[in-house]
Amino acid sequence: MHFDTSSELISYAVKTKENASYFYREAARHASDDKSRELLEELAREELEHRDLFAGLDPEKGLLKLPKVLLDRKLSDSFVEVLFYPGMSFVEILMFAIKQGEYACRLYLDLANSASGTVATMLANFAEAERQRRICLEEYFHLKVDSDL
């Protein structure tokens, strides 16, 4: 995958976020319980928020204004790959979303390492946005799931 301009990269990132939101909305239709459905709907909304963040980027600067996040617990390092299937449990859905954030971060970092200039900066920023989202999901997992185990 290669991007010649920062505008191409922004278009790709926006489309990726739209696809992810669609996926989570469709998955919510097949959720096994209300808690899982609500989580999937929230994930769909967050993807659209990221889409809007990426779409609003200045192609000349490529910098995102990201908030500070919590400590990175790196829980995803201990998760096995989770493939989505209809009727997943709440915990499985959360693990799936966390792993997807990890994969997206890794993809953007790999692309940033092979790019230069503004495109490389934007890719690194996209990776950081995905990392921060993963950290927030991991914190939620820690507070809501780990404490119940």
CATH code, domain carrying 141: 1.20.1260.10
Q: Contact at 8 Å (CB) between 92 and 141?
A: no
Residues in the chain: 149
What digits encode the pLDDT tens for the residues 77-103? 888 888 888 888 888 988 999 999 999
Residue 116 lies in a domain: yes
Residue 69 lies in a domain: no
Residue 74 lies in a domain: no
Residue 134 lies in a domain: yes
Q: Which residue range(s) make up the domain with 52?
A: 6-59+80-148
Residue 66 lies in a domain: no
pLDDT for the residue numbered 64: 64
Q: Is the pLDDT of residue 66 over 70?
A: no
Whether the predicted model's global pTM rises above the 0.85 cut: no
3-9 long-range contacts, Cβ below 8 Å, gap at least 24? Answer: 3/111, 3/115, 3/119, 5/59, 5/119, 6/57, 6/59, 6/60, 6/62, 6/118, 6/119, 6/122, 7/59, 9/119, 9/122, 9/123
Number of domains in the chain: 1
Q: What is the mean pLDDT of residues 115-135?
A: 89
pLDDT for the residue numbered 102: 92
Q: How many CB atoms lie within 10 A of CB 149?
A: 5
Residue 95 lies in a domain: yes
Question: pLDDT class for 48, splitting at 50, 70, 90?
Answer: very high
Q: What is the mean pLDDT of residues 57-70?
A: 69
Residue 72 lies in a domain: no
Assigned token pair, 147: 């404490």
Residue 42 lies in a domain: yes
